[in-house]
Chains A and B, each alone.
Chain A
Amino acid sequence: MKLNYNFDGNIACRTILQDQLEKLNINYQLLDLGQIEISDNISEDTFEELQTSLKRFAIHIIDNPKGQLIQKIKDAIIEIIYDKEKFPNTTISQYLADKLNYRYGYMTNIFSEYTHTSIENFIIIQKIERAKKFIIDGELSLTEISYELNYSSVAYLSTQFKKVTGLTPSMFKRVIDKRRKLSNTE
């Protein structure tokens, strides 16, 4: 039997963090995405223990400042993509600069250096990733999806989708459906 499922990565991540931190008796406070405030000083051993236990869930503790910044940029972007309400009225570059208190130019340099891609490209990839989820769920029409993701038109979404995946949204849907059918019959 194959089950298709849906999940909220944030909640999953928070739950895992809570479990692991409580297991090690650490006093903590979950802040914004990707940040935890630990109130007491913890020993080297406990820290390492935490690091290993989280690694199993592919959660890495980032201990260099540039990495932390990149993570913050990514989190900020994902936040506005996954919550339409938070989508800024200004440009995204302005929004990021305001939110993270860095020059946008600086952020783009750091980002490209570490991620092989630009912030703009990262935004596009994330948006298309979300579009993919919407398309697979099949509940929204392309028009609704383009509205949900702040695209000016369906055509623009389609074009960007094709650019990122090489496929049209309909071909993408077809491939996914056929793939599921194939694995279900096995």
Chain B
Amino acid sequence: MKFLKLFKNSQVFKLALGVAILVVCYFGSKFFSQMQRLTSTLELIAKSNETQLELEKLLSIINSYDYSLRNYIITKDESYLQNRFLNRGIIEEGIKKLKILTVNDSVRNKDILTLEKLINYRFKLFRETLIAAKSSNVDRLGLNSKLKKSNDYTEMMKLFVYKIINSERLKTKFQNSNHQFELQDSLMTAFLLIILSLLILLLSFNKTNGDIEDLKQANDKLMLLNESFNAAEKTAGFGHWMVNLETNQYTFSDNMFRLMGVEPNAFESTLENSIKYLHPDDLEYVTQVHKDSLVNHQSTSIVFRFLTASNEVKYIMGVGSFTKDGNGNMIKIGVNYDITDQYKRTLELEENNKELKYINSELESFNNIVSHDLQEPLRKIQMFISRVEEKEFDGLSQQGRDYFSKIRIAANRMQTLLIDLVNYSRTIKGDKVFVETDLNKIISDTIQDLTTNIEEKSAILHIGQLPIIKAIPFQLKQLFINLVSNSLKYSQEDNIPQININSEVITEEEVSNYEIINKEDYYKIVVEDNGIGFKQEYAEKIFLLFKRLETDPKYSGTGLGLAICNRIVENHKGFIKVKSEPNRGSKFYIFLPKGDLV
């Protein structure tokens, strides 16, 4: 989840960064073009200044020429004329320069060409004036007009040049203000550029910082996860390995090494190193399966053995499957699971199960022996006893008769014992089919079965309304047959036996005494009699096998009846308790759970 968020964040960030760079690029290019323009205006200004300078230079030369000529005319000193050819050369150079400077300005260029013509004409005037002045007969009037004409012409030329200079100056001024404005613009752009770059830098820094923090946290978590995974592998007996199918590089987890009985990273993680620890009998099979899987990329699942460094045999369940790593390389990931304990336990269980089945079948045949084979000869003995008693008794001595009746009693006791034993073993072995059972019906069946005994003792039974429960019907019937016949058997001689069977509400005392969590969870059935009872201290004992309280032969019993009851109630996940008082009677409490018993 977190990783996904991080990933999403970085995606947004990348987009923002891209946009920012685009903006910076735009401003950069704008700045560049502005700078470019700035240079060109500067150049223009410089050119214009130079043009002005050259023009003024030209004017000054012409002026100086004029002065020199005048001075000569006045003084007739030839030295004033010595520079005239030099000046003429400078002017020509100046014109040339001006032509170059104004090459891009057609108007100005035309102006320069006009200027050139003007200058040429002026010099023609100079020459004519000079010639006039040099002649021996000076025509004062002519010379004066010539001078006047030259002067006027010079003035006109000056005006022309100043006009040009003026227009250049105007141009320069405009350029200058333009330059000034563009400079401000560029400054603005540059400032923006810097701010933006700074912003991006800051953002990037912040983001990187955050990412690094996140990465660190993720890393920490990963490390923790890795550690706990390692610990988990160790406790659970798991180990895993990986192989990159492109590079054939193997990686083993720490516990993978432990499974082979060595310390983590005890050797380089390679197939060759690990198969040394395979049980020799499994080596061929396991490597074959592994190699096949590397070709067909099918998942594998095998059970094999490691023969560890300490010669211990470990049973391993190994599963392998294929997937692609982050770089799109096919890898095989395998998990090995130490199932030695399980395997051994299964073997043990199988062994136990076999034994149990054997014991069960033994018990079954024992049951058959008891219920049928043993009873057959006993029945014959009893039959012959009754035959002798009926026909031959008179021929016996008194002692013989006594012995004989003892034989009969012993044989009868043996019969009851056999029947009880069969009943008891029936409560142990299978056939525990739980069905909806109406206890009222069970009780009425019980009474029908015991009709003879009940009539014999003229007992009075009071039966309350009983619930319908999920139970094993024949066992419940056995339970009540045993309890009721118990009550009949241990009745007081001079008292009419009274037996009450009722369903009662569980008391708070019982909840705490018998650790019942919720009294709604159990049915409580009470079987109460007014028989001879017993001391409460024997209450636990009477449910044990072959425990009998009465030794008086008139209360014949096998000591199995109540043990059977206990067993049956336990089979129903319930419990049985008894409260009794000598000569007052006993109260048996049967607690049967209401819920599902399966």
A131 to B: closest C-beta gap in Å: 15
A155 to B451, CA, bound (A): 12
A139 to B: closest C-beta gap in Å: 21
Contact pattern, A 154-186, Cβ under 8 Å of B = 1, otherwise 0: 010011001100001000000000000000000
**B444 partner residues in chain A, CB cutoff 8 A:** 155, 158
**A159 partner residues in chain B, CB cutoff 8 A:** 448, 451
A163 to B448, CA, bound (A): 9
A38 to B: closest C-beta gap in Å: 50
A50 to B61, CA, bound (A): 190
**A162 partner residues in chain B, CB cutoff 8 A:** 448, 451
A74 to B448, CA, bound (A): 29
Residues from 411 to 459 in B contacting A, C-beta threshold 8 Å: 444-445, 447-448, 451
Residues from 146 to 160 in A contacting B, C-beta threshold 8 Å: 155, 158-159
What residue of chain B has the Cβ atom nearest to residue A162's Cβ?
B448
**A158 partner residues in chain B, CB cutoff 8 A:** 444, 448
Q: A residues engaging B (CB < 8 A)?
A: 155, 158-159, 162-163, 168
A159 to B451, CA, bound (A): 8
A138 to B: closest C-beta gap in Å: 18
Q: B residues engaging A (CB < 8 A)?
A: 444-445, 447-448, 451
Between-chain CB contacts (< 8 Å), 5 pairs: A158-B444, A158-B448, A162-B448, A162-B451, A168-B445
A113 to B: closest C-beta gap in Å: 27
What residue of chain A has the Cβ atom nearest to residue B449's Cβ?
A162
Q: Which 9 A-B pairs have the closest CB atoms?
A: A162-B448, A159-B448, A159-B451, A155-B444, A158-B448, A168-B445, A168-B448, A158-B444, A162-B451
A52 to B: closest C-beta gap in Å: 48
B417 to A: closest C-beta gap in Å: 26
B533 to A: closest C-beta gap in Å: 29
A159 to B448, CA, bound (A): 6
Given A158-B444, A168-B445, A168-B448, 8 other A-B residues pairs in contact with their CB atoms under 8 A? A155-B444, A155-B447, A158-B448, A159-B448, A159-B451, A162-B448, A162-B451, A163-B451
**B451 partner residues in chain A, CB cutoff 8 A:** 159, 162-163
What residue of chain B has the Cβ atom nearest to residue A170's Cβ?
B441
A155 to B443, CA, bound (A): 11
A60 to B: closest C-beta gap in Å: 38
A75 to B448, CA, bound (A): 31
What residue of chain A has the Cβ atom nearest to residue B441's Cβ?
A170
**A163 partner residues in chain B, CB cutoff 8 A:** 451
A163 to B449, CA, bound (A): 10
A158 to B447, CA, bound (A): 11
What residue of chain B has the Cβ atom nearest to residue A163's Cβ?
B451
What residue of chain A has the Cβ atom nearest to residue B451's Cβ?
A159
**B447 partner residues in chain A, CB cutoff 8 A:** 155
**B448 partner residues in chain A, CB cutoff 8 A:** 158-159, 162, 168
**A168 partner residues in chain B, CB cutoff 8 A:** 445, 448
A117 to B: closest C-beta gap in Å: 21
A155 to B445, CA, bound (A): 10
A17 to B444, CA, bound (A): 46
A186 to B: closest C-beta gap in Å: 29
A156 to B: closest C-beta gap in Å: 11
What residue of chain A has the Cβ atom nearest to residue B448's Cβ?
A162
A2 to B53, CA, bound (A): 146
**B445 partner residues in chain A, CB cutoff 8 A:** 168
A145 to B: closest C-beta gap in Å: 16
A126 to B: closest C-beta gap in Å: 21
A168 to B: closest C-beta gap in Å: 7
A162 to B451, CA, bound (A): 10
A19 to B448, CA, bound (A): 48
B468 to A: closest C-beta gap in Å: 16
**A155 partner residues in chain B, CB cutoff 8 A:** 444, 447
What residue of chain A has the Cβ atom nearest to residue B445's Cβ?
A168
A159 to B454, CA, bound (A): 13
A159 to B446, CA, bound (A): 11
B435 to A: closest C-beta gap in Å: 14
A158 to B449, CA, bound (A): 11
A110 to B448, CA, bound (A): 33
A162 to B447, CA, bound (A): 11
A155 to B447, CA, bound (A): 10
A163 to B444, CA, bound (A): 14
What residue of chain B has the Cβ atom nearest to residue A171's Cβ?
B445
A159 to B444, CA, bound (A): 9
A1 to B249, CA, bound (A): 81
A120 to B: closest C-beta gap in Å: 17
A184 to B: closest C-beta gap in Å: 26
A168 to B447, CA, bound (A): 12
What residue of chain B has the Cβ atom nearest to residue A154's Cβ?
B444
A144 to B102, CA, bound (A): 141
A165 to B: closest C-beta gap in Å: 12
A35 to B504, CA, bound (A): 61
A160 to B: closest C-beta gap in Å: 10
A168 to B448, CA, bound (A): 9
A158 to B445, CA, bound (A): 9
B443 to A: closest C-beta gap in Å: 11
A163 to B447, CA, bound (A): 13
A155 to B448, CA, bound (A): 9
A62 to B167, CA, bound (A): 174
A75 to B: closest C-beta gap in Å: 32
B481 to A: closest C-beta gap in Å: 15
A168 to B451, CA, bound (A): 13
B324 to A: closest C-beta gap in Å: 65
A158 to B448, CA, bound (A): 8
B476 to A: closest C-beta gap in Å: 16
B73 to A: closest C-beta gap in Å: 167
A87 to B408, CA, bound (A): 49
